[in-house]
C-alpha cells in the first residue's frame, strides 16, 4: 500500500530470509539430524534414567513456579496499581531487575546468600536442610528469574480496568469476594495466563542460574537444559538430540497456547 | 434504609482495609525476600572484600578481554536486530501475505526455547558438518567456537525484543498518516524517517534497551556455541562463570558488580522510556 | 478535457467486490460528490484516484494522462482523510508545511505559504499547537490546509465532515463550497449524507454496492431518479409494492387504483412505486385526481409544513403539505380523505430499474 512494489518485495525478502536463516533453518537442521541418526539410539538416550529424571524435575519445578507466580504475580501487580505505600516507586522499578541481571550473576547472588558459608545457609545446613546444590536451589533460582512475567503481563490490564465495573457490581449488591471472582478475575485471566505460560516456558529452559545454584548432579539437580549442556560438552550429539527435541516441542505448544490466549483476549476487546 | 446501610458498608470497608494491609505486607515481604535480599547480599559480599584484589582481578587481561568481547557482541547485535527487528515489524503490520501468522508466532520462539537448545541447534547448523557451516568453511570463515557464532546466538536470543515492541505501536498507529504523507509526495524513505520513525522511536528505544541488556547477560546459548576459549571467545558472563567455578570468588564478584551496575542503569532507563512512551 | 476521468474501475478485497465497473468524470472546477451508504465502495474509488489503492481493472486519468500505475506521491492530488490523519508529532505549522518541505521549497517560501493558509482556514494563533490540542473542526481545517499547501489541481475529500457534529458540519460544508469557488480546483468528495451532497455538489455520483446507479446534478438525481436505490436513498419517499395489470397499477390492500398511461409500461408484472411525500395531494372528496381512499392517522406540525400519516388499506403513506394549504382544509385525525399522486416513479421489482416516470399534469389531470 505504502511503498512502491519493488521496495515492498525487497523488504519482505530481506526480513523473511533473516528470520529464515536465524530461526527456521536451525530448527529444521535439528529435526533433519534426528531423522539422519539412528532413531532407536536416540530413543534409548531419551529413556535413559538420567534423561527421564532431568525431564521430570524440570517439568515439576516449572509447574510449581508457574502456579506460585500466577498467584504472587497477580497479587503484586494488584498491589502496585491499586494501593499506595512507601517505596512503591522503587519496588515498581526493581520488578524488572531479574530481567536485567545476567542469569549467572543471579546464580552467584543466590549462592552468596544461601550457600553453606553464609549465615542463612549455615543455619539451614545445621538442621540438615541444604538449599544450594540441592533442589530447593532450583526452585529459588526459577522463582527469581521468572518473577516479572506475570506482574508485567497483568499490571497494564489492571491499570486499564475501569473501576466503574467494580462499582457497578458493588451497587448491585455484590460482596468483595464475589466482585473479585466474577468481575476482576475473568477480566484479568487472559493476562494472568499469558504471564504464567511465559514463566513456565522460561523455567523449562532456564540454564545459567540453575547451573550455578544447583550444579550438575545426575538424578538430583540435573535439569533438562543442564543435561543437554553436559551431553554437548562431552560431544555426545545423539544424547543431546532427544531432550532438545522434547524441549523444542514443549516450546511450540506454549507458543500455540499463547496464540489461543491472544485470540480469546481479542474477543473481550471487541466486546468492549 | 440509608442509615441502616451505612454502618454495614463501613465495617465492610474496614475489614477490606485489614485484608488490604495483609495483602500489601505479604507482597512486599515476598518481593523483599525473593529479589531484594539476594541483591543486597552480593553487594555486601563484594564490598567486604579486599578492594585492591578486586581491582586487580578486574583489570587482568582475561577480564578485560571478556568485557571487550561482550561489548563487541552487544554493539553488533544492537545494530543488526534494530534494523531487522524494525523491518520485520514493518513488514508484518503493513503487508499481507500467506504464512504471516506463522512468522509472527515464530517471533515468540526465541523466548520460549531454552538457550542451551538454541546453542545446540546453532552448532548443528553452523558447525563444520552443518548446512550453513559447510558454506562458511568454504570461505574459511569459522562460526562455531568463534565470535561470529556468539553473535549469531545472541541475535537469535534477542530477536523478538525490538520487533515485538514495535508491532503493537505500528498496528495502533495505522497507516493513515503514512498515506497522508505519501499523497503529499513523500517517498518511502522520507515517509519512514519523518512519519513512522518519530512515532515508534520510544518503542524502538525500549526494545533496544532490552536487547542490549539481554546481550550483556546472555549465558547459555553463548556458552554452548563459543567453546569458552580463554582470551578468545570468553564473554563477561562466561568469565564470571569460570571464575566462580574455579573458586576465585573475588574475580566473580567484582565482574558481577560491573554487570549489576549496568543492570540498574538499564532498568532505570526502561522506566524512563516507559514514561516517555505513555506520555 | 476532464480533470478526472475514471473508466471501468473494479476492485475486490478477497471475495468482496468493493467497486464494480465504475466510470465517471469530473470537469475542471467541478465539485463532485460520491454519494452512497457506508460500505458502498465510494471511499475505495477515491483511494484509487489518489493511488492509495490499485484497481484490479480499469483506468484512471488525471488531466488526460493515464495515471493508473503512477504511485500516489507523483499524482499531485490533495487528499483529506476521514479521520484527518494529521501527523501527531508535528505542530499545525509543520503539518501544513510538510508537502512543501518534501518538494524542497525554500524556508521563507514555506513560512509565507503556511501563514497564508493559516489565515485562509482561520487558525491564527494555533500555529504551534499539536493536533491533540485541537477540536474536531480545527483538525479538519488543518487537514484541509495541509492538502491545499502544495497547490494541487485536484482535491479528494473522504467524508470530510463525517466525524463532526451537525452545526459545525453545516458551516464547514458551506465554507468548503465557497473555498472551492475561490481557488479553482476540481474536487471529489465522498459522503453518505444526501443533504450535504445536494447542498454543495455540482454533480452527484450515486453509488450502490460498488456500482454507479446514476450521475447527475442534485436536481436531476432528486427529481428523476434512475433506480429505486437512488430514489429511496436521496430524500424521503414512500415505497409501495404493487402489480401492473392492463397499464393500471394495483396496490394490494390499498383502496383504489392508479392509472398509468405511459406506453413504455409493460402490461403486467410486479412493481415498486416510489412517491415523495410532497408529491401527494390530499382532498376531502374523491375526485379524478385523488382516487385513493384513506384515513388520517397522525398529524405532525413541522414548522413550515405539516407531515401527515395516512392509512390506506394496510399501508401508511407519509405526506408533507405546505402549512397554509393544509390548514385551509381543516382536516382532523381519523377523517376520511382521498389521495392523489402528482408525480411518481415506478421501478421493476427485483432489479429496481425505472420503467415509468409519471406526472399527473402530463396525463391531463391537473389544471
Distance CA C202, CA C32 (A): 6
CA–CA dist A10, A8 (Å, integer): 6
Instruction: Give helix then strand counts, H and E, for chain C.
Output: 10, 21
CB contact under 8 A, B131 and A30: no
- Whether C79 and B180 lie within 8 Å, measured CB to CB: yes
- Among candidate residues C229, C250, C270, the one where a domain is terminated: C229
C85 in the same domain as C38: yes
Do the chains contact at C52 and A1, CB–CB below 8 Å?
yes
Which one, of C19, C186, A255, A155, lies nearest residue B105 by Cα? A255
Specify the residue for cell string 517560501.
C109
By C-alpha distance, the chain A residue nearest B222 is A208
Cell 534477542 belongs to: B158
Contacts 24+ apart (CB under 8 A), C192-199: C192/C35, C192/C36, C192/C37, C192/C38, C192/C159, C192/C162, C193/C161, C194/C35, C194/C233, C194/C234, C194/C235, C196/C33, C196/C161, C196/C169, C197/C33, C197/C35, C197/C234, C198/C222, C198/C234, C199/C173, C199/C174
Within a domain: C367 = no
The pLDDT of residue B275 is 86
Among partner residues A100, A240, A256, which is closest to B213 by beta-carbon distance? A100
The tens digit of pLDDT for each residue in A24-38 reads: 999 999 999 988 888
State the virtual CA torsion across B76, B77, B81, B83 in degrees, nearest 10. -10
In terms of Cα–Cα distance, which of A94, A209, A78, A85 is closest to A153? A78
What contacts C211, CB < 8 A, 6 or more positions away? Answer: C20, C21, C22
pLDDT value for C19 = 95
Q: Residue C215: beta bridge partners?
A: C205
- Is residue C349 less than 8 Å (CB to CB) from chain B? no
Total domains in the fold of chain C = 2
pLDDT for residue B211: 95
Contact between B177 and C85 using a beta-carbon 8 Å cutoff: yes
Q: What angle do CA B160, A78, A254 make, to 5 degrees?
A: 35
Q: How far is C68 from chain A (nearest CA, A)?
A: 14
Q: Which chain B residues are closer than 8 Å to A229 by Cβ?
A: 116, 220, 223-224
Bridge partners for C241 per DSSP: C272
Which candidate in C71, C73, C79, C85 is best for mutational testing of the A interface (most A CBs within 10 A)?
Answer: C71
| Predicted pLDDT at B39 | 85
Distance from CA of B106 to the nearest CA of A (A): 8
Reply yes or no on whether the pLDDT at C252 is more than 80: no
Q: How far is CA B209 from CA A202, B204, C189, in A?
A: 20, 9, 46
| Spatial separation of the C-alpha atoms in residues B200 and B204, rounded to whole Å | 6
User: Is the minimum CB–CB distance between C162 and chain B shorter than 8 Å?
Assistant: no
Q: Please report, for the domain that includes residue C194, its CATH number.
A: 3.40.50.300
Name the DSSP class of C353. Answer: B
DSSP C227: B
> What's the length of chain B?
279
- Residues C285-329: tens digit of each pLDDT: 888 778 788 899 999 998 889 999 998 887 889 999 988 888 888
Q: Which CATH number fits domain A39-271: 3.40.309.10, 1.10.3330.10, 3.40.50.12170, 1.10.3720.10?
A: 1.10.3720.10
**Chain-chain contact of A105 with B267 (C-beta, under 8 angstroms):** no
Query: For residue C262, what pLDDT is reported?
Result: 56
Q: Do C134 and C282 belong together in one domain? A: no
Note whether residue C342 is domain-resident: yes
Question: At what angle are helices A237-271 and A224-233 packed, to 10 degrees?
Answer: 140
| Same structural domain, C199 and C300 | no
The pLDDT tens digits for A83-112 are 888 888 889 988 988 989 999 999 999 998
How many Å lie between the alpha carbon of C202 and the closest alpha carbon of chain A?
31
Q: What ranges do the domains of chain A cover?
A: 1-36, 39-271
Spatial separation of the C-alpha atoms in residues C46 and B60, rounded to whole Å: 69
Do C252 and C223 lie in one domain? The reply is no
**Do residue C247 and residue C98 come from a single domain?**
no
Architecture of the structural domain at B50-278: Orthogonal Bundle (1.10)
Strands laid side by side in the C77-80 sheet = C77-80, C154-158, C186-191, C31-35, C203-208, C211-216
Q: Cell numbers at residue C8, please?
A: 471501468
In terms of C-beta density within 10 A (0-12 exposed, 13-18 middle, 19 or more buried), how is residue C3 classed?
buried
Judgement on whether residues C250 and C126 belong to the same structural domain of the protein: no
Chain C residues whose CB is inside 8 A of the B199 CB are 88-89
CA neighbours closer than 13 Å in the CB half-sphere of residue C212:
19
Of the candidates C138, C90, C88, C89, which has an alpha carbon nearest to the alpha carbon of residue C118? C138
Using a CB-CB cut-off of 8 Å, the residues of chain B touching C89 are 198-199
Give CA–CA dist B177/B183, Å, rounded. 10
Contact C52 A4 (CB under 8 A): no
Provide the residue-wise pLDDT of chain B in tens; the chain has 279 residues.
Answer: 333 444 444 444 556 678 888 889 999 999 988 888 888 888 887 777 677 888 888 899 999 999 999 999 999 999 999 999 999 999 999 888 888 888 988 998 999 999 999 999 999 999 988 899 999 998 999 999 999 999 999 999 999 999 999 999 999 888 899 999 999 999 989 999 999 999 999 999 999 999 999 999 999 999 999 988 888 899 999 999 999 999 888 889 889 999 999 988 988 888 888 888 776
Chains touching chain C, criterion 3+ CB pairs below 8 Å: A, B
In order of A199, A250, B126, B211, B269, the CA distances from A204 in angstroms are: 9, 9, 25, 22, 29
Angstroms from C160 CA to nearest CA on chain B: 14
- My answer on whether C186 and C97 are in the same domain is yes
Nearest residue on chain B to A21, judged by CA atoms?
B132
How many C-alpha atoms does A4 have within 13 Å on its Cβ side? 13
Q: What is the CATH number of the domain that holds C319?
A: 2.40.50.140
Query: In which domain, by residue range, is C295 found?
Result: 237-362
- Cα distance between residue C306 and residue C299, in whole Å: 7
Chain centroid offset of residue C333 CA: 35
Note whether C161 contacts B: Cβ–Cβ < 8 A: no
Q: Do B181 and C87 touch (CB under 8 A)?
A: yes
Residue C30 has pLDDT above 80, yes or no: yes
CB < 8 Å to B90, chain A: 11
3-class secondary-structure state, position C212? strand
Which chain B residue has its CA at the smallest distance from C14's CA?
A: B96
**Subunit partners of chain B (3 or more CB pairs within 8 A):** A, C
DSSP E strands in C44-164: the ranges are: 57-62, 65-66, 77-80, 154-158
What pLDDT score was predicted for residue B4?
A: 40
Whether residues C258 and C326 fall in one domain: yes
The reply to whether C54 touches chain B by the CB within 8 Å rule is: no
CB contact under 8 Å between A1 and C53, yes or no, is yes
Say yes or no to pLDDT of A4 above 70.
no
Q: What's chain B's Rg over C-alpha atoms?
A: 25
- Domain-located, residue C334: yes
The answer to whether C221 touches C34, Cβ cutoff 8 Å, is no
In this structure, are residues C83 and C163 in contact, taking their beta carbons and an 8 Å threshold? Answer: yes
Do C85 and C195 fall into the same domain? yes
Taking an 8 Å cut-off on Cβ atoms, the answer to whether B187 and C78 are in contact is: no
pLDDT of res. C120: 85
Q: Does residue B45 belong to the interface with chain C, where contact is any CB pair within 8 Å?
A: no
Verify that C255 and C202 share a domain, yes or no: no
Looking at the fold, whether C107 and C26 belong to one and the same domain comes out as: yes
Indicate if the pLDDT at residue A210 is higher than 90.
Answer: yes
Element spanning C205, H or E: strand C203-208
Return the pLDDT at C199.
Answer: 85
| CB neighbour list of residue C269: distance below 8 Å, 6 or more residues apart | C243, C244, C348, C349
Is the domain of C120 the same as that of C53? yes
Q: What share of chain C is helix, strand, coil (3-state, %, to 5)?
A: 30, 35, 35
Q: Calculate ∠ Cα B267-B269-B271, nearest 5°.
A: 70
Domain annotation covers residue C356: yes
Buried b (16+ CB within 10 A) or exposed e, A52-84: ebbbebbbebbebbbebbbebbbbbbbbbbeee
Average pLDDT over every residue of C44-51 = 94
Alpha carbons B262 and A256: distance in angstroms, whole number = 35
Cα of A148 vs its chain's centroid, Å: 10
ipTM, two decimals, is 0.91
Q: In what order do the strands lie in the sheet with C238-245?
A: C257-259, C248-250, C238-245, C268-275, C343-348, C354-359
Listed by start position, the domains of chain B span 8-48, 50-278
Write down the pTM of the prediction.
0.83
pLDDT of residue B206: 92
Q: What is the DSSP letter of C38?
A: T
Q: What is the pLDDT of residue B6?
A: 41
What pLDDT band is residue C173 in, cutting at 50, 70 and 90?
confident
Distance CA C321, CA B54 (A): 100
Amino acid at each position: 500500500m505504502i511503498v512502491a512494489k519493488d521496495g515492498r518485495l525487497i523488504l519482505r525478502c530481506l526480513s523473511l530470509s533473516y528470520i529464515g536463516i536465524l530461526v527456521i533453518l536451525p530448527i529444521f537442521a535439528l529435526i533433519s539430524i534426528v531423522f539422519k541418526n539412528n532413531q532407536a539410539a536416540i530413543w534409548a538416550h531419551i529413556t535413559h534414567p538420567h534423561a527421564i529424571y532431568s525431564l521430570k524435575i524440570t517439568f515439576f519445578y516449572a509447574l510449581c513456579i508457574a502456579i506460585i507466580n500466577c498467584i504472587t504475580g497477580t497479587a503484586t501487580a494488584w498491589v502496585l496499581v491499586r494501593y499506595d505505600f512507601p517505596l512503591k516507586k522503587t519496588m515498581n522499578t526493581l520488578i524488572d531487575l531479574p530481567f536485567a541481571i545476567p542469569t549467572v550473576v543471579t546464580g552467584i547472588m543466590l549462592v552468596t546468600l544461601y550457600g553453606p558459608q553464609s549465615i542463612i545457609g549455615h543455619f539451614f545446613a545445621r538442621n540438615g536442610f541444604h538449599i544450594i546444590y540441592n533442589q530447593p536451589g532450583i526452585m529459588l533460582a526459577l522463582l527469581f528469574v521468572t518473577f516479572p512475567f506475570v506482574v508485567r503481563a497483568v499490571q497494564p490490564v489492571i491499570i486499564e480496568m475501569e473501576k466503574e465495573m467494580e462499582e457497578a457490581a458493588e451497587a448491585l449488591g455484590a460482596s468483595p469476594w464475589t466482585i473479585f471472582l466474577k468481575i476482576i478475575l475473568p477480566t484479568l485471566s487472559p493476562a494472568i495466563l499469558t504471564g504464567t505460560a511465559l514463566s513456565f516456558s522460561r523455567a523449562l529452559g532456564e540454564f545459567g542460574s540453575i547451573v550455578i545454584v544447583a550444579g550438575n548432579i545426575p538424578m538430583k539437580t540435573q535439569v533438562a537444559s543442564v543435561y543437554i549442556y553436559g551431553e554437548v560438552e562431552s560431544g555426545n550429539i545423539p544424547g543431546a538430540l532427544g531432550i532438545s527435541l522434547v524441549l523444542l516441542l514443549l516450546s511450540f505448544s506454549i507458543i500455540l497456547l499463547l496464540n489461543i490466549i491472544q485470540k480469546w483476549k481479542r474477543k473481550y476487546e471487541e466486546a468492549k | 434504609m440509608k442509615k441502616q446501610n451505612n454502618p454495614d458498608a463501613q465495617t465492610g470497608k474496614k475489614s477490606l482495609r485489614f485484608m488490604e494491609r495483609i495483602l500489601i505486607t505479604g507482597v512486599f515481604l515476598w518481593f523483599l525476600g525473593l529479589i531484594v535480599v539476594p541483591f543486597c547480599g552480593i553487594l555486601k559480599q563484594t564490598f567486604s572484600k579486599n578492594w585492591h584484589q578486586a581491582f586487580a582481578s578486574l583489570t587482568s587481561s582475561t577480564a578485560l578481554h571478556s568485557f571487550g568481547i561482550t561489548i563487541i557482541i552487544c554493539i553488533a547485535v544492537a545494530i543488526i536486530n534494530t534494523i531487522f527487528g524494525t523491518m520485520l515489524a514493518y513488514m508484518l503490520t503493513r503487508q499481507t501475505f500467506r504464512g504471516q501468522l506463522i512468522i509472527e508466532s515464530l517471533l515468540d520462539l526465541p523466548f520460549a526455547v531454552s538457550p542451551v537448545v538454541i546453542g545446540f541447534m546453532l552448532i548443528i547448523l553452523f558447525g563444520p558438518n552443518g548446512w550453513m557451516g559447510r558454506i562458511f568453511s568454504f570461505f574459511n570463515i569459522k562460526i562455531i567456537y568463534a565470535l561470529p557464532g556468539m553473535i549469531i546466538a545472541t541475535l537469535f536470543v534477542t530477536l523478538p525484543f525490538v520487533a515485538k515492541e514495535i508491532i503493537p505501536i505500528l498496528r495502533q498507529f495505522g497507516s493513515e498518516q503514512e498515506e497522508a504523507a505519501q499523497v503529499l509526495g513523500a517517498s518511502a524513505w522520507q515517509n519512514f524517517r519523518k512519519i513512522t520513525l518519530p512515532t515508534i522511536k520510544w518503542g524502538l528505544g525500549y526494545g533496544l534497551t532490552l536487547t542490549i541488556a539481554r546481550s550483556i547477560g546472555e549465558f547459555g546459548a553463548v556458552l554452548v556455541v563459543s567453546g569458552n576459549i580463554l582470551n578468545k571467545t570468553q564473554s563477561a558472563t562466561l568469565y564470571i562463570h569460570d571464575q566462580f567455578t574455579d573458586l576465585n570468588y573475588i574475580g566473580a564478584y567484582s565482574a558481577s558488580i560491573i554487570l549489576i551496575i549496568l543492570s540498574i542503569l538499564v532498568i532505570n532507563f526502561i522506566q524512563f522510556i516507559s514514561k516517555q512512551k505513555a506520555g | 478535457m476532464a480533470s478526472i476521468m475514471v473508466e471501468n474501475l473494479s476492485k475486490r478485497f478477497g471475495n468482496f467486490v468493493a467497486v464494480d465497473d465504475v466510470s465517471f468524470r469530473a470537469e475542471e472546477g467541478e465539485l463532485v460528490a460520491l454519494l452512497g451508504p457506508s460500505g458502498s465502495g465510494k471511499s475505495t474509488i477515491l483511494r484509487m484516484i489518489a493511488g492509495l489503492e490499485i484497481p484490479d481493472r480499469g483506468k484512471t486519468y488525471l488531466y488526460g494522462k493515464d495515471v493508473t500505475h503512477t504511485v500516489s506521491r507523483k499524482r499531485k492530488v490533495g487528499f483529506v482523510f476521514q479521520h484527518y490523519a494529521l501527523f501527531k508529532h508535528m505542530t499545525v505549522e509543520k503539518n501544513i508545511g510538510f508537502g512543501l518541505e518534501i518538494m524542497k521549497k525554500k524556508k521563507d517560501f514555506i513560512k509565507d505559504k503556511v501563514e497564508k493558509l493559516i489565515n485562509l482556514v482561520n487558525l491564527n494563533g494555533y500555529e504551534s499547537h499539536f493536533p491533540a490540542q485541537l477540536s474536531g473542526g480545527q483538525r479538519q481545517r488543518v487537514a484541509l490546509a495541509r492538502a491545499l499547501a502544495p497547490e494541487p489541481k485536484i482535491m479528494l475529500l473522504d467524508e470530510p465532515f463525517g466525524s463532526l457534529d451537525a452545526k459545525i458540519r453545516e458551516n464547514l460544508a458551506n465554507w468548503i463550497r465557497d473555498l472551492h469557488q475561490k481557488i479553482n480546483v476540481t474536487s471529489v468528495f465522498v459522503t453518505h449524507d444526501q443533504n450535504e451532497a445536494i447542498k454543495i455538489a455540482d454533480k452527484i455520483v450515486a453509488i450502490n454496492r460498488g456500482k454507479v446507479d446514476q450521475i447527475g446534478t442534485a436536481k436531476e438525481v432528486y427529481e428523476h431518479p434512475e433506480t429505486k436505490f437512488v430514489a429511496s436513498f436521496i430524500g424521503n419517499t414512500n415505497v409501495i409494492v404493487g402489480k401492473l395489470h392492463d397499464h393500471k397499477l394495483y396496490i394490494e390492500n390499498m383502496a383504489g387504483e392508479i392509472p398509468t398511461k405511459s406506453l413504455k409500461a409493460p402490461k403486467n408484472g410486479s412493481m415498486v412505486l416510489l412517491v415523495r411525500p410532497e408529491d401527494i395531494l390530499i382532498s376531502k372528496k374523491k375526485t379524478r385526481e385523488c382516487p385513493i381512499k384513506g384515513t388520517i392517522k397522525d398529524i405532525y406540525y413541522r414548522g413550515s409544513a405539516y407531515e401527515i400519516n395516512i392509512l390506506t388499506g394496510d399501508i401508511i403513506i407519509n405526506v408533507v403539505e405546505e402549512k397554509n394549504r393544509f390548514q385551509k382544509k381543516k382536516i382532523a385525525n381519523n377523517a376520511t380523505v382521498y389521495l392523489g399522486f402528482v408525480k411518481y416513479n415506478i421501478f421493476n421489482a427485483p432489479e429496481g430499474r425505472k420503467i415509468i416516470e409519471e406526472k399527473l399534469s402530463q396525463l391531463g389531470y391537473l389544471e
